[in-house]
């Protein structure tokens, strides 16, 4: 290894952090086993019951460190405007100085691990190389699952290759000194005083979304918070779909969907390509092609069961790291809305003794697993893992889907009229908050393209980038919006969701291929009555109406709210999006009169 850029940078960071020693991660099974052993001996990780959970480990984060901390996450561009109102901003000099204070001596008595990793297949011209320096074995072991890591990446980097400089230290895990800093202009990420995945597995949100979105803007591609899945029809043809939903809204479940009986009997199959991130490029054939840059799943555990996601249950049976779930006394794991009966007692995510039926001072059930507890599992263990994960150019997209969690207003599915309307649809996405973010659960917040926490530059420029790309695509995918979460007057979900969502994907693919007619509404195209396969579901005419009802007054209110939301982007907001807002209002008004 003779890459002077890399060696000098490591030297400089080590001078600041003062680790006792430096260990290079080679990606070998032997080294991984050694590290596991060491982490088990110090209590950083707990080995689970190896008969029930072969190769599985358990970890608890600090109780103040259980989700991404968006308020402590900064984009540090020279010009504040370039970060945009969608990001917290700090001047680079100040950010380096302040975090530098926290990093100073932070690794004393600890090892600094050097993790060379590739986002995307090693050697693909579309992949990006990062090097993460960290003092956490937990981070190393997670990165070995989530990314392609080790010496092969160093070989690929060569002596003069460039890379994203990722520095992480747990330091004191002090939430008053926690900072997650991105320097897109320096291709650098600094994360300090956290041990939570989304803040510290720097290949994931920090590199593959925040830094990559910035690189994509400059290099002409998109880094998106999207799952990628293939839907194979009975003829063997596979259509690929990318879908953006905010965190903890079911991307992993949709990506691993099990077809309902009537579909599987006809030969339909699902292929999982990714559950969180898509890098999308324009192919030579004029279509969009998507790559999942990761090689594992960092999924939300609670709610994962054999009804919601049997493929995930199968994926996490071995070689998986569980974080902040409930630990049972026989070395097993459990979480709320999980599989099988709840244990009578165990150790909760926060290390406290837990008994089934426990309530807090308000009489509310005390969860055994944190609502944002996670599993980290290798992609290849998914029973429906697509071999296309290894394809350097990825998969061609037939459709792009946007979606949120909205108990009211938004219909089950609609199709945008054209690319610009589709970009407007994505840009005006809103969703109710979930446990993956700090904030009041259930509050509706704007989350354009599910990228609000992840766009590494001014979102006005990001919208412009989407619109510009649209002009270059000869064969654009259809753009759709879905909402599985609409509720009836009794506060019950109207749509059954899970595997049944394939019925909607089926309609989407048929529409994208121009095979079925649709009804034009002021919002977009929706299925004709009878156009959606509802066979075997208990949804009658009035249920269908309730799923697709468009309340024009409320939509005019929504459009006004979107204008308010857009106004924060000032002159950086593309005029086309305001035009789309005007068109929507006109359509709503004329349909009303
Ligand atoms: C995630 C998230 O972990 O979006 O994927 O928070
Ligand atoms: Mn995510």
Residues 235 and 176 in one domain: no
pLDDT of residue 86: 97
Catalytic (active site) residue 206 = no
pLDDT at 593 over 60: no
CATH of the domain at 438: 3.90.228.20
pLDDT at 435 over 80: no
428 inside domain: yes
Residues 413 and 373 in one domain: no
- Quickly list DSSP for 530-566: TTS--TTS---HHHHHHHH---HHHHHHHHHHHHHHH
pLDDT at 390 over 60: yes
Residues 77 and 214 in one domain: yes
Q: What is the atom index within ligand 1 of the atom nearest the CA of 454?
A: 4
Instruction: Name the one residue in this structure whose structure tokens are 């949120």.
Output: 404
Residue bearing the CA closest to ligand 1, atom 4: 247
50 inside domain: no
Please say whether the dihedral angle defined by the alpha carbons of residues 335, 337, 339 and 345, taken in this order, is positive or negative. positive
pLDDT at 6 over 60: yes
**Cβ neighbours around 126 below 10 Å, total:** 17
Residues 155 and 244 in one domain: no
Helix (H, G, I), strand (E, B) or coil at 550: coil
pLDDT tens across 102-127, in order? 999 999 999 999 999 999 999 999 99
Q: Which residues contact 515 (CB under 8 A, 6 or more apart)?
A: none
List 249, 382, 455, 581, catalytic entry: 249
278 inside domain: yes
Q: Work out the pLDDT band at 438, boundaries 50, 70, 90.
A: low
Distance 265 CA to ligand 2 centre (A): 32
pLDDT tens across 538-556, in order? 999 999 999 999 999 999 9
Tell me which residue range forms the domain holding 510: 224-296+387-592
Please say whether the dihedral angle defined by the alpha carbons of residues 49, 53, 55 and 57, taken in this order, is positive or negative. negative
pLDDT over 90 for what percent of the chain? Answer: 95
345 inside domain: yes
Q: Based on the structure, what is the number of domains in the chain?
A: 3
pLDDT of residue 591: 74
Domain final residue, candidates 351, 381, 411: 381
Secondary element (H or E) of residue 346: strand 345-347
202, 208, 247: residue to mutate for ligand 1 pocket, most atoms within 8 A of CB: 247
Distance 300 CA to ligand 1 centre (A): 8
73, 198, 434: residue to mutate for ligand 1 pocket, most atoms within 8 A of CB: 198
Q: Work out the pLDDT band at 374, boundaries 50, 70, 90.
A: very high
Residues 460 and 572 in one domain: yes
- Both tokens of 370, joined, read 């944190």
Radius of gyration of the chain (CA): 24
pLDDT at 299 over 90: yes
- Both tokens of 136, joined, read 């956490």
pLDDT of residue 443: 82
pLDDT of residue 379: 98
- Both tokens of 548, joined, read 């697709």
Residue 221 CB burial class (10 angstroms; 0-12, 13-18, ≥19): buried
- Both tokens of 380, joined, read 């290849």
**Is 475 in contact with 527 (CB distance < 8 Å)?**
no
Q: What integer best gives the mean pLDDT of the chain?
A: 96
Helices 459-472 and 212-219 pack at an angle, to 10 degrees, of 40
Distance 213 CA to ligand 2 centre (A): 14
385: left (phi over 0), alpha (psi -120 to 50) or beta: beta
Residues 308 and 232 in one domain: no
pLDDT tens across 33-78, in order? 999 999 999 999 999 999 999 999 999 999 999 989 999 999 999 9
CATH of the domain at 330: 2.170.8.10
**Distance between CA atoms of 272 and 508, rounded to whole angstroms?**
18
pLDDT at 315 over 90: yes
Which residue(s) pair with 444 in the sheet? 432
**Distance between CA atoms of 297 and 299, rounded to whole angstroms?**
6
pLDDT tens across 455-502, in order? 999 999 999 999 999 999 999 999 999 999 999 999 999 999 999 999
Residues 392 and 438 in one domain: yes
Ligand 1 surroundings by CB, under 6 angstroms: 68, 198, 247, 276, 298, 436
Residues 242 and 208 in one domain: no
pLDDT over 70 for what percent of the chain? Answer: 98
Helix (H, G, I), strand (E, B) or coil at 11: helix
Helices then strands, counting H and E runs in the chain, come out as: 17, 31
Residues 213 and 228 in one domain: no
pLDDT at 559 over 90: yes
């Amino acid at each position: 290894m003779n890459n002077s850029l890399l060696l000098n940078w490591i030297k400089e960071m080590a001078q600041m952090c003062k680790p006792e020693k430096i260990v290079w991660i080679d990606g070998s099974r032997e080294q991984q086993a050694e590290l596991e052993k060491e982490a088990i001996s110090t209590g950083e990780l707990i080995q689970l019951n190896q008969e029930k959970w072969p190769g599985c480990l358990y970890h608890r984060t600090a109780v103040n460190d259980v989700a991404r901390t968006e308020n402590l996450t900064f984009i540090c561009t020279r010009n504040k405007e370039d970060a945009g109102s969608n990001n917290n901003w700090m001047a680079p000099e100040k950010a380096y100085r302040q975090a530098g204070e926290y990093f100073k001596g932070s690794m004393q008595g600890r090892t600094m691990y050097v993790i060379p990793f590739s986002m995307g297949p090693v050697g693909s011209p579309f992949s990006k190389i990062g090097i993460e320096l960290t003092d956490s074995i937990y981070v190393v072991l997670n990165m070995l699952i989530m990314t392609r890591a080790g010496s092969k990446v160093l070989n690929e980097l060569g002596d003069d290759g460039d890379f994203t400089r990722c520095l992480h230290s747990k330091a004191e895990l002090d939430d008053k000194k926690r900072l997650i800093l991105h320097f897109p202009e320096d291709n650098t990420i600094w994360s300090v005083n956290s041990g939570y995945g989304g803040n510290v597995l720097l290949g994931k949100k920090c590199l593959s979304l925040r830094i990559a979105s910035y690189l994509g803007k400059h290099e002409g591609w998109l880094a998106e918070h999207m799952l990628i899945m293939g839907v194979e029809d009975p003829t063997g043809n596979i259509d690929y779909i990318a879908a953006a939903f905010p965190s903890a809204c079911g991307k992993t479940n949709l990506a691993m969907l099990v077809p309902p009986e009537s579909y599987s009997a006809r030969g339909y199959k699902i292929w999982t390509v990714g559950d969180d991130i898509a890098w999308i490029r324009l192919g030579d054939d004029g279509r969009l092609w998507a790559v999942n840059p990761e090689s594992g799943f960092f999924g939300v555990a609670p709610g994962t069961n054999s009804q919601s996601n049997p493929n995930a249950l199968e994926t996490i049976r071995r070689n998986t790291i569980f974080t902040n779930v409930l630990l049972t006394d026989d070395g097993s794991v459990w979480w709320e809305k999980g599989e099988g009966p709840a244990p009578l007692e165990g150790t909760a995510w926060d290390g406290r003794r837990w008994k089934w039926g426990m309530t807090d001072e308000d009489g509310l059930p005390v969860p055994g697993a944190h609502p944002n507890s996670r599993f980290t599992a290798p992609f290849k263990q998914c029973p429906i893992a697509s071999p296309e994960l290894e394809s350097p150019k990825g998969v061609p997209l037939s459709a792009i889907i946007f979606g949120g969690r909205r108990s009211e207003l938004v219909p089950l599915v609609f199709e945008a009229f054209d690319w610009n309307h589709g970009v407007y649809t994505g840009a005006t996405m809103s969703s109710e908050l979930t446990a993956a973010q700090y904030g009041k659960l259930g509050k509706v917040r704007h989350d354009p393209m599910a990228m609000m926490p992840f766009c590494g530059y001014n979102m006005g420029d990001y919208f412009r980038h989407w619109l510009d790309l649209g002009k270059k695509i000869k064969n654009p995918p259809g753009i759709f919006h879905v909402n599985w979460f609409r509720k009836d007057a009794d506060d019950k979900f109207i749509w059954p969701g899970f595997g049944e969502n394939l019925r909607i994907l089926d309609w989407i693919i048929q529409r994208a291929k121009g095979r079925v007619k649709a009804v034009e509404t002021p919002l977009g195209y929706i299925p004709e009555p009878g156009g959606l396969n509802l066979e075997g579901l208990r949804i009658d005419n009035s249920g269908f109406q309730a799923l697709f009802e468009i309340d024009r007054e409320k939509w005019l209110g929504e459009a006004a709210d979107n204008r308010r939301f857009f106004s924060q982007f000032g002159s950086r907001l593309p005029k086309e999006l305001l035009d789309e807002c005007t068109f929507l209002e006109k359509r709503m008004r004329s349909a009303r009169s």
